[in-house]
Amino acid sequence: MIAGNIQIDDDLENYKKIADIIDISGGLETGGYKDISKIEIFLNKVRDYKNEN
């Protein structure tokens, strides 16, 4: 598992090489609250990455 300063615009390929689980919780927040648009962007990014590989 990797956690700490993970952001939605980070390259998922880099994390795949070192961890099976990514804690991106804080990276999905704006002003201390979960940001639904960031969550949607991240889930789409993961879905696209999964479909490519």
Show the 3-state SS of the chain: CEECCCCCCCCHHHHHCCCCCEECHHHHEECCEECHHHHHHHHHHHHHHHHHC
Stretch 10-38: mean pLDDT: 92
Q: What is the pLDDT of residue 42?
A: 92
Q: Is residue 35 scored above 90 in pLDDT?
A: yes
Q: Is residue 20 scored above 90 in pLDDT?
A: no
Q: What is the pLDDT of residue 17?
A: 87
Q: Is residue 13 scored above 90 in pLDDT?
A: no
Q: What is the pLDDT of residue 14?
A: 87
